[in-house]
Amino acid sequence: MSQALNSDQAAGPLHRICPGFIAVGPPITTGTSQLQHGTVDGRAVIAKHPTDLRPWWQDRCRQEITVYRALADNPPPITVPELVAADVDAPLLILTRVPGGPLHPDRYPPAGTVSADAVTRLLHTLDRLHQWPLGRQRGLFPDDSDYQQQINALPDDLLTTDAKDRLIRLFGIAGIGLQLTHGDAHLGNAINTSAGTETCTEIGTALIDLELTAVRPRGYDEAQLFTFLADNPTARDLVSLIPGGRDLQAGFWLAVVLVTCREIVSHRRHANLPCREHRLARLRADLALATDRCHALTNTP
């Protein structure tokens, strides 16, 4: 069971790190965090504070602070919120609010609700992030590239030891390059800042919620988006049409294995998740598909 802070406990650190913060409206409390909209010097901002005291949630906020500090010193080629103030010890951060609305409000969009334009916008924006040379600079951003360790840590009831060994072998021989990844790539974390435009490019699309941003093998963000679009096969086809050789294919399908296993574990833990049984069935099917593709790639010269 999680430990939680009283929502009022965030107020002291908030005004200490940013005396000019003016709250707008009541705080928004989720199962693990407190969000507070406000203004600083006339700019719309949002304060984020994990109320769950478990180390993973606290460290997730600290990683987000690390990422935004790195981006403040090295502006990325895409639009992201700007860091206004932060306290690593609290932990707490205040970010500028990006105007606009999400490309889709749901992490797992219902069938028939995703447009090709929305997926193309996100893919183009992610590609600009992935191609950014500074994103691959050692030590600048968190590193989450050790797939061997991550594969070995997956539940044994989802992957046998033999299956894990085959996946690790593929990772070793495929030569997958590294890139800076968003780490939670779904349409809800992409903001359309140019509503009413007809373009379907990355222009006018911002990325938010960078708490899982890190350097990973290529294909991770696309694998997440592919997984979340399970009920929208036409849209997910735009994601899975991967150009290139075995390295890119391996990066994508290995990441699908990681993502689906983690999502299955999460859905198992939370019995009240909407569409839980339906999603578990979809996730298991995607896991089987991904492991089959990885097996075939292992045997491809």
Model pLDDT for residues 7-35, shown as the tens digit of each residue: 455 567 788 999 999 999 999 998 788 99
Kindly give, in sequence order, each residue whose CB lies less than 8 Å from that of residue 182, ignoring residues fewer than 6 positions away: 126, 129, 189, 207, 210, 212, 213, 221
Residues 248, 140: one domain? yes
Task: Please report the pLDDT score of residue 203 as a whole number.
Answer: 60
Residues 109, 92: one domain? no
Kindly give, in sequence order, each residue whose CB lies less than 8 Å from that of residue 81, ignoring residues fewer than 6 positions away: 46, 68, 95, 96, 97, 98, 206, 208, 210
Average pLDDT over residues 188-205: 70
Buried b (16+ CB within 10 A) or exposed e, 119-128: bbbbbbbbeb
Residues 118, 203: one domain? yes
Token representation of residue 264: 């299955």
Q: For residue 272, is it within any domain? A: yes
d(C-alpha 253, C-alpha 287), whole Å? 9
Task: Please report the pLDDT score of residue 195 as a whole number.
Answer: 58
CATH code where residue 76 lies: 3.30.200.20
The helix, strand and coil proportions of the chain, stated in percent and rounded to the nearest 5, come to: 45, 15, 40
Average pLDDT over residues 47-60: 92
Which of 96, 116, 140 terminates a domain? The answer is 96
**Using one digit for the tens of pLDDT, what is the confidence trace for 243-256?**
678 999 999 999 99
Residue ranges in 131-273 assigned as alpha helix (H): 147-152, 161-174, 220-228, 233-240, 246-269
Residues 134, 40: one domain? no
Residues 112, 76: one domain? no
Residues 117, 67: one domain? no
Going by their DSSP bridges, the two strands 214-217 and 190-192 should be labelled as unpaired
**Using one digit for the tens of pLDDT, what is the confidence trace for 234-243?**
999 999 876 6
Residues 118, 261: one domain? yes
DSSP 173-214: HH-PPEEEE-SS-SGGGEEESSTT----SSTTEEE---TT-E
Which of 96, 116, 141 terminates a domain? The answer is 96
* Domain, as residue range, for 185: 101-298
Residues 108, 54: one domain? no
**Continuous segment of H or E residues that includes residue 301:** none
Residues 134, 92: one domain? no
Q: Contact, 150 vs 181, CB < 8 A?
A: no
Residues 92, 112: one domain? no
Residues 61, 116: one domain? no
Could you give the number of structural domains in the chain? 2
Q: For residue 2, is it within any domain? A: no
Which of 52, 70, 96 terminates a domain? The answer is 96
**What is the pTM (predicted TM-score) of this model?**
0.92
